[in-house]
Structure 1
Amino acid sequence: TADYWWWIPVAGPLVGGVAGAVIYFLLIELHHSNHNDKPHEEPEEEEDEEEDEDSSLKDKYEMINMS
């Protein structure tokens, strides 16, 4: 029986980690309020900057074609 005692330090932390996660989820996380209660803020659009870059490139291309 002494040949299999090395499994305890290997399996113990794994089993303890899963058990701790389940206990945390059941006792703490289920009691948190939903994050959906907060108003949704939309991120700022950065498309305007990209359009400005595209238009400036287009203007430069037109200037090259004109000459």
Structure 2
Amino acid sequence: MHISNSVIIVTGASAGIGRATAVSLAQRGANVVITARRQERLAALAAELEPYPGRCFLLAGDIGDTAFA
């Protein structure tokens, strides 16, 4: 599957499967929007993704909250 230059939203990106997914997608050149509740963990992940080809955008919030979603 060709994902380079695609924009992909990853929820729960601060840990576990969401984090691993974000890393894998960024390594493959996708532009990744990472979201989770913990701003500090998202910022750390965004810094880790910097060397990869795609861009990273972060949004801290709870997707269960309709005002955020």
Q: Which has the higher contact order (CA 8 A, sep 6+)?
A: 2
TM-score of the pair, normalised by structure 1 = 0.23
Structure whose alpha-carbon radius of gyration is higher = 1
Structure (1 or 2) with the greater strand fraction:
2
Structure (1 or 2) with the greater helix fraction:
1
TM-score of the pair, normalised by structure 2 = 0.22
